[in-house]
Amino acid sequence: MNLSDLQVLGLAGLSSKLRAQLVDLGIAVHENPDGPQWDLVLGPASAIRQTRQITKWREELGTVVWAEVDSTEDSVHVLNTGDVDRFISEGLTELQSDLLQVQAAAWGRRHQRRLKQDLQRQNTELSAMAERLEELVAERTGDMQRSKSELEAQTQRVQRLVRFVSDLSRWHHVDELMIYLRAEFRMFHELGEITLYWRKPTGEAELVFWQGHQLIHRETGPPPHLPLSIRMNDRVDQVYLATYLKRPAGRTITVPLSVDSPPAILFLEHGLKETERFLQHLQERLQALQLTWERIYGEQEAFESSRQWEEVFDTMVDPVAVLNREFRVVRANRSFSQFPGVQCHQQWADRDSHCLGCPLESPPGSAQLIQSRGRLWSVYSNRAEQDGASGTIVNHYVDVTESKRLFEQSIQSEKMASLGLLAGHIAHELNNPLTGIRSLAQVLMMENLPTTTSSDLKEVASAAERCERIIQNFLQFSQGESEPETVDLSELVQRTLPLLKTAFREHRTEFHWSNEPLMVRVQPHLLQQVVFNLVSNACQAMPDRGLLSLETRREDDVAVLAVRDTGIGMAKDVLSRIFEPFFTTKKEGEGTGLGLSLSQRIMRRFGGDIKVSSQIGEGSVFEVQLPIHAEKS
Amino acid sequence: MKVLIVDDEPLVRRSLGRIFERFGDEVRTAEDGVQGLEMWRQFHPDLVLLDVLMPGMSGPEVLASVGKSKATVYLMSAFAGETDTTRARDMGARGFIPKPFGDVLALVETLRLDTNRHSR
């Protein structure tokens, strides 16, 4: 096909330059639109747009409609832009005539058909796709609406759950939990009573249940078989509840509360028509509930063990105190007394400074003897091991008054026993020659002798007799096994005095004996010991020469012996304690501190007592009082 | 009356002896148990005053060793309570005299009377 065969329509306005080029190529450009089948329509864009037939051409020619582009006009209304572009850019002159011809022809027909098919297919596909899309959109929109309300519901559920869990964290006691659960489950109207079975840390099993608005705790029997998970309407559970609550039980939901701790079971009685919703509600909360139970139980256990410990601590008869370095009481048991923060010696011994022999000032672990509260204490002081740095000290006070007294007493009686033995020997050794002296003096007195010699011998005999009497008294005093006797108090005191002569030798003495006999029932040697004690004390209280006076008198039915000295006297605080065992103002080794307390015990055993009054610097008076023994007097 | 006094205390021997002699009695003394036993066997006394506690041989030992004797025996001791009349009789003595004697003249008179009555 020759290029000149191309049927070209040149629309009005086609540039003369292009027209000339076409002509040069041998192509005739026609100007009548109603001509033969055009292969190519050429014209300025504006013209093509205005031409009515352009649609028809376009349908028929496909790509071949071409617009000459002028600078002001924008585009070309053809489908196959690529070719036209080339057409334009390269210019007709540079197109090979045959290429142009082939191309134009091929385009025209091939592309027209394919395009039509493509378009149709694409259209169907597109509309199908659009349909699907619409469906999809509708579906999505529905979904979204639905899930929004679901989401809200779920959020609410979660919020309620969160509140439940956070509420649970506030409860520390079984009762609190029970009260809370009752309120919490109130939204399920048909839910009945809530009952809790649990085994307390102390080991007793307990049923906690509601009676009206009151929570009742009641000891209970062995638990029903433990649930591993929530179980419903268990016959055994119902019988168990009925047995211990003493009323018929309804339908039950049995919830295992404990996981690791001793058994705890929650019984929920109910009349729910439909349990599904409640069970779900419960199931959601079960783990939180169980965890809370474990915590509450743990707290209860801790509380219980600390309470038990405290009970033990307080039950101890021996006082125990935990002190810090400043002697302040951190904790103490009941026997010690309960004023934390106060210093131990203020609480313990009622004094402002440390006790004599304070164990805190000695190496730890040693025991010290301390006097307080009228008793003698062995105080064991130990540093708390785990608390070495802060210096916490545990003091343990053991009352050793009695054992110490017994010990001293046994020493005392041992002394007396050996003294008695010794006295026996001495008495024997002295009695023999004394017997001889006195007897011989008596024999000689019968001889015919000068008066002076005779009276000398009388003196010898009476001196020997005095010696014999002293020995007799000494024997009685030291042998310490005399039976209760009824004796004259004055006479007994006078019998004792010879033994005390060395004690009061340095002092002036005054004796006022009662005119009537003061018969008292005593073990004479013990009363002698008391007199001995009181007189030697009186003499020791007078470092300078003083006046010792002894007096016996009757006051109603009481025989009184008063031992008075003009010594140093005693202060009030000493006075109030002198009858305490082991209280002594004497230097170590000079007294056991037992004399007066023993004396008082002896007198009380005889139904009497010892009283004392004293003035600092003026002296003291001790009064022995004994009931007058009526029968023999 | 023949009197034997056995006591380790010379003043006791001397004083008792002087009083018995004043009554006209024949008195021998011994200063311990061994000597006393020997003298008892030779002297054949009517009355024996025997101290309990003596060096060598005690009064009761002498009493147990002496065998058959016509003598009335009294035990003497300064250990009050150590020997009483019942025990003294169990040992074959007539009685027990505690020391100190108190009125020694009265004692001797009593002993003489008792011995006379007893030996009759």
**CA A58/CA A77 separation, integer angstroms:** 9
Q: Does A475 touch chain B (CB under 8 A)?
A: yes
**CA B21/CA A631 separation, integer angstroms:** 48
Q: In the predicted model, is pLDDT for residue A346 greater than 90?
A: no
Task: Tell me the mean pLDDT in the region A207-217.
Answer: 90
**Nearest Cα to Cα of residue B117 among B51, B26, B46:** B46
Q: In this predicted structure, what is the pLDDT of residue B47?
A: 95
The pLDDT mean for chain A works out to 78
User: Which residues on chain B are in Cβ contact (under 8 Å) with A434?
Assistant: 100
Comparing CB atoms, the residue among B11, B78, B103 nearest residue A427 is B78
Cβ–Cβ of A428/B8 closer than 8 Å?
Answer: no
Q: Does B7 touch chain A (CB under 8 A)?
A: yes
Residue A316: HSE in the Cβ half-sphere, 13 Å Cα cutoff: 18
Q: In the predicted model, is pLDDT for residue A59 greater than 80?
A: no
Cβ–Cβ of B18/A442 closer than 8 Å?
Answer: no
Task: Tell me the mean pLDDT in the region A502-508.
Answer: 82
- Terminal alpha carbon distance of chain B: 13
**CA A386/CA A405 separation, integer angstroms:** 37
**CA A502/CA A495 separation, integer angstroms:** 15
Comparing CB atoms, the residue among B18, B53, B99 nearest residue A435 is B99
Residue the block writes with tokens 């003091």 = A395
* pLDDT tens column, A380-438: 887 776 655 567 788 888 888 888 878 877 877 777 777 777 877 888 788 888 889 99
Distance of CA A88 to the CA centre of its chain: 99
Question: Which of B7, B9, B53, B54 to mutate against chain A (most A CBs within 10 Å)?
Answer: B9
Spatial contact of A101 and A2, defined as CB atoms under 8 Å apart: yes
Highest mean pLDDT among A24-38, A426-440, A568-582: A426-440
Question: Does residue A599 or residue A78 have the better pLDDT?
Answer: A599
Q: In this predicted structure, what is the pLDDT of residue B74?
A: 92
Residue the block writes with tokens 């899930």 = A147
pTM score, two decimals?
A: 0.43
Strand positions, DSSP E, A243-328: 251-256, 264-270, 320-323
Q: In the predicted model, is pLDDT for residue A584 greater than 80?
A: no
**CA A66/CA A43 separation, integer angstroms:** 7
Q: Does A434 touch chain B (CB under 8 A)?
A: yes
Q: In the predicted model, is pLDDT for residue A580 greater than 80?
A: no
User: Which residues on chain B are in Cβ contact (under 8 Å) with A435?
Assistant: 9, 11-12, 78, 99-101
Spatial contact of B64 and B39, defined as CB atoms under 8 Å apart: no
Question: Does residue A251 or residue A576 have the better pLDDT?
Answer: A251
**CA A438/CA A463 separation, integer angstroms:** 8
**CA A546/CA A567 separation, integer angstroms:** 7
Q: Range with the lowest mean pLDDT among A106-115, A246-255, A301-310, A358-367?
A: A106-115
Q: Where are the alpha helices (DSSP H) in A486-592?
A: 489-496, 501-504, 524-540, 572-575
Question: Which of A428, A431, A439, A465 to mutate against chain B (most B CBs within 10 Å)?
Answer: A439
Q: Does B84 touch chain A (CB under 8 A)?
A: no
User: Which residues on chain A are in Cβ contact (under 8 Å) with B104?
Assistant: 438-439, 442-443
3-state secondary structure of A420: helix
User: Which residues on chain A are in Cβ contact (under 8 Å) with B79?
Assistant: 424, 427-428
Task: Tell me the mean pLDDT in the region A262-288.
Answer: 88
Q: In the predicted model, is pLDDT for residue A357 greater than 70?
A: no
**CA A280/CA A272 separation, integer angstroms:** 13
**CA A164/CA A325 separation, integer angstroms:** 48
Spatial contact of A70 and A11, defined as CB atoms under 8 Å apart: no
Exposed/middle/buried for A315, CB within 10 Å: 0-12, 13-18, 19+? Answer: exposed
Residue A234: HSE in the Cβ half-sphere, 13 Å Cα cutoff: 17
Q: Does A7 touch chain B (CB under 8 A)?
A: no
* Paired residues of A63 in beta bridges: none
Spatial contact of A269 and A252, defined as CB atoms under 8 Å apart: yes
Cβ–Cβ of A442/B11 closer than 8 Å?
Answer: no
3-state secondary structure of B8: coil
b/e map of A90-123 (b: 16 or more CB within 10 Å)? eebeebebeebbebbeebbeebbeeeeeeeeeee
In chain A, what percentage of residues exceed pLDDT 90? 14
Residue A216: HSE in the Cβ half-sphere, 13 Å Cα cutoff: 13
Q: Does B9 touch chain A (CB under 8 A)?
A: yes
Three-class SS of A152-185: HHHHHHHHHHHHHHHHHCCCCCHHHHHHHHHHHH
Q: How far is B5 from chain A (nearest CA, A)?
A: 13
- Terminal alpha carbon distance of chain A: 184
Backbone phi and psi for residue A414, each to the nearest 5 degrees, phi listed first: -65, -45
Comparing CB atoms, the residue among B7, B12, B104 nearest residue A442 is B104
Q: Does A433 touch chain B (CB under 8 A)?
A: yes
Question: Does residue A77 or residue A371 have the better pLDDT?
Answer: A371
Q: Range with the lowest mean pLDDT among A48-52, A184-188, A377-381, B65-69?
A: A48-52
User: Which residues on chain B are in Cβ contact (under 8 Å) with A468?
Assistant: 100
Q: Does A460 touch chain B (CB under 8 A)?
A: no
| Pairing state between β A264-270 and A191-199 | antiparallel
3-state secondary structure of A370: strand
Q: How far is B60 from chain A (nearest CA, A)?
A: 17
Q: In the predicted model, is pLDDT for residue B81 greater than 80?
A: no
* A67: its two tokens: 């617009």
* A551: its two tokens: 């007096």
3-state secondary structure of A440: helix
Cβ–Cβ of B99/A432 closer than 8 Å?
Answer: yes
Task: Tell me the mean pLDDT in the region A553-558.
Answer: 92
Confidence of residue A20 (pLDDT cuts 50, 70, 90): confident
Q: Does A437 touch chain B (CB under 8 A)?
A: yes
Distances (CA, A) of A355 to A343, A380, A401, A580: 11, 14, 17, 17
**CA A366/CA A431 separation, integer angstroms:** 53
ipTM: 0.85
